[in-house]
């Protein structure tokens, strides 16, 4: 019997262990998609206790606690931080075989050196030790990032965000690259006129333009796109049920925009046409700057409307959706490719039923200009666990080039989530090591070790242009100073 979470955790063969310990383990981390709050990095925040850094905003844990019968008061309600942690500790033993069990104990070990299992009996000891350490300078936010060897991270930011904290970081001398990502979901949120118009007023104020027409919206988005670029932004992102690729004319979408700006709700056809036009506009802007565009597809969000009204979005009421994906994805990519305006693109899939579809679709639009120009992204959200990672790696291997994959990301709001990179690296090395032991891959450690290091680090650095981090930071510092 193997001990729980040993040094060889998830590494089932000698080759897997060699690949992980000699090649993967020491690689720095490039976390090119996360939801970390940049204000906390800029302030080098110290947390008072482990609940604040571990449970605030973590809807993975919240869903598990609800499933375990924990009342909402101890999840997002007015219970004390200690009471919330105690309820999480009581829940952890019931998460066996859920990735949360692995992640919880990996995080306790990697950040705090705690090997004791978390449960009701150990809760107070673990709370006291972690909370005491978090109040020391060594456990400030920036030092937590240093502890995990993070080299570059990309936050997720709305076009209307001031980016003041990124500006402060650019001039702070902090050696880790903290770059914004342009996520314009709210600029496409056409389903409710009043909320959309309130957002446009906010965007217009920041962009210093009255947004009256669709052309005004384009001007505002371009100004913000330029501003993000001045602070080192290299990526955009979209969270969508599916891509929109309806046919439209400029006159049709201009009229639809004028209609919603006047406070009238759009028809289904008008809605889809305007979303399609905005997606193309944003994609062309990314292509012009040489950015990478990311599309997170397939989430069915806000299913529990009662709890949405009570707690708001992103609080744990989302699921995998079953939207038709293929035809619209094809039409969208083909339109951009036909105009020679298709930027580097990553497609993240949430519904396992669509993985092979998307893996084969992206292969239609690789043109030889960039290795892995259009690719299937890592296992996302409900799929960023062992089984989901293995399926994504196998699908990518079967339908494309695993060796060109840009690897893992956290997609997290927690500064304690970086062991997810370790988890992925172990899964990757075990998959390759098993193939070697079975005679399905050559036992060429130079070939395989280099491939592992590229997937863990090198491919992302080259693909996103992070190899020029020093030059980028110098340019950003100059722009901020100017």
Q: Are 346 and 327 in contact (CB under 8 A)?
A: no
> Which residues have C-beta within 8 Å of that of residue 353, sequence separation ≥ 6?
322
Instruction: Report the alpha-carbon distance of residue 67 to residue 317 in Å, rounded.
Output: 12
Average predicted confidence (pLDDT) for the chain: 96
Instruction: Report the alpha-carbon distance of residue 54 to residue 362 in Å, rounded.
Output: 36
Measured CA angle at 464 (ends 459, 467), to 5 deg: 75
Question: What are φ and ψ of residue 199, in 5° steps?
Answer: -65, -45
User: In degrees to the nearest 10, what's the CA dihedral of 169, 172, 173, 179?
Assistant: 10
Question: What pLDDT is attached to residue 482?
Answer: 57
Does residue 231 register a pLDDT over 80? yes
Rg (CA), the chain: 23
Q: Are 297 and 381 in contact (CB under 8 A)?
A: no
User: In this structure, how many other beta carbons lie within 10 angstroms of the beta carbon of residue 29?
Assistant: 25
Helix, strand or coil for residue 28? coil
Instruction: Report the alpha-carbon distance of residue 24 to residue 11 in Å, rounded.
Output: 12
Does residue 475 register a pLDDT over 80? no
Instruction: Report the alpha-carbon distance of residue 337 to residue 62 in Å, rounded.
Output: 42
Cα dihedral sign, 384-386-388-394: positive
Query: How do residues 152-165 score in pLDDT, each as one tens digit?
Result: 999 999 999 999 99
Q: Which of 140-149, 406-415, 463-472 has the lowest mean pLDDT?
A: 463-472
Q: Are 53 and 47 in contact (CB under 8 A)?
A: yes
pLDDT band at 90; cut points 50, 70, 90: very high
Taking phi first (over 0 means left), then psi (-120 to 50 degrees means alpha), and beta for anything else, what does residue 173 get? left
pLDDT band at 473; cut points 50, 70, 90: low
Q: What is the mean pLDDT of residues 363-380?
A: 96
Share of the chain above pLDDT 70, in %: 97
Does residue 468 register a pLDDT over 90? no
> Which residues have C-beta within 8 Å of that of residue 192, sequence separation ≥ 6?
265
Query: How do residues 249-305 score in pLDDT, each as one tens digit?
Result: 999 999 999 999 999 999 999 999 999 999 999 999 999 999 999 999 999 999 999
Please state the separation of Cα 123 from the chain's center in Å. Answer: 30
Residue 397 token pair: 């291997």
Sheet order of strands, 235-240 included = 182-183, 235-240, 292-297, 344-349, 374-376
Instruction: Report the alpha-carbon distance of residue 61 to residue 50 in Å, rounded.
Output: 14
Q: What is the mean pLDDT of residues 434-448?
A: 98
Q: Are 430 and 390 in contact (CB under 8 A)?
A: no
What are the counts of helices (DSSP H) followed by strands (DSSP E) for the chain? 21, 10
Question: What pLDDT is attached to residue 459?
Answer: 98
Does residue 476 register a pLDDT over 70? no
Does residue 422 register a pLDDT over 60? yes
Q: Position of tokens 């004390």?
A: 80
> Which residues have C-beta within 8 Å of that of residue 118, sequence separation ≥ 6?
89, 92, 104, 105, 108, 126
């Amino acid at each position: 019997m193997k001990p729980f979470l040993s040094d060889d955790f998830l590494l089932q063969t000698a080759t897997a262990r060699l690949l992980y310990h000699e090649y993967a383990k020491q690689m720095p981390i490039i976390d090119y998609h996360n939801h970390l709050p940049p204000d906390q990095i800029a302030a080098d925040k110290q947390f008072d206790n482990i609940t604040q850094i571990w449970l605030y905003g973590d809807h993975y844990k919240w869903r598990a606690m609800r499933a375990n019968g924990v009342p909402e008061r101890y999840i997002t309600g007015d219970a004390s931080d200690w009471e919330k942690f105690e309820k999480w500790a009581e829940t952890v033993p019931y998460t066996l075989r859920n990735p949360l069990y692995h992640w919880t104990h990996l995080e306790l070990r990697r950040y705090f050196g705690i090997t004791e299992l978390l449960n009701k009996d150990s809760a107070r000891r673990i709370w006291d030790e972690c909370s005491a350490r978090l109040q020391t300078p060594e456990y400030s936010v920036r030092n937590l990032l240093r502890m995990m060897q993070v080299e570059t991270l990309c936050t997720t930011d709305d076009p209307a965000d001031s980016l003041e904290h990124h500006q402060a970081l650019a001039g702070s001398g902090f050696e880790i690259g903290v770059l914004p990502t342009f996520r314009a979901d709210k600029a496409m949120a056409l389903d409710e006129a009043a909320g959309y118009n309130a957002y446009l007023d906010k965007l217009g104020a920041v962009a210093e333009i009255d947004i009256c027409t669709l052309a005004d919206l384009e001007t505002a988005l371009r100004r913000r796109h330029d501003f993000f670029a001045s602070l080192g932004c290299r990526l955009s992102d979209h969270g969508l049920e599916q891509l929109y690729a309806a046919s439209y004319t400029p006159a049709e979408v201009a009229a639809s925009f004028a209609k919603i700006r006047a406070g009238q709700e759009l028809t289904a056809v008008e809605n889809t046409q305007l979303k399609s036009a905005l997606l193309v506009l944003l994609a062309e802007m990314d292509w012009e700057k040489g950015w990478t565009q990311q599309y997170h597809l397939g989430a069915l969000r806000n299913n529990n409307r009662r709890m949405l009204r009570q707690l708001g979005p992103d609080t744990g009421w989302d699921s995998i959706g079953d939207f038709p994906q293929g035809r619209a994805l094809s039409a969208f990519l083909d339109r951009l490719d036909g105009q020679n305006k298709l930027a580097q693109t990553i497609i993240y899939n949430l519904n396992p039923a669509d993985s092979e579809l998307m893996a084969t679709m992206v292969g239609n639009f690789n043109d030889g200009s960039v290795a892995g120009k259009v690719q299937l992204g890592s296992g996302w959200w409900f799929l960023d666990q062992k089984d989901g990672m293995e399926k994504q790696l196998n699908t990518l291997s079967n339908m494309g080039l695993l060796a060109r994959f840009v690897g893992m990301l956290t997609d997290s709001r927690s500064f304690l989530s970086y062991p997810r990179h370790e988890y992925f690296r172990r899964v990757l090395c075990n998959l390759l090591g098993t193939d070697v032991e079975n005679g399905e891959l050559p036992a060429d450690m130079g070939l395989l070790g280099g491939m592992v290091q590229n997937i863990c680090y090198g491919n992302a650095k080259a693909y996103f242009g992070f190899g020029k981090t020093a030059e980028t930071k110098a340019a950003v510092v100059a722009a901020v100073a100017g």
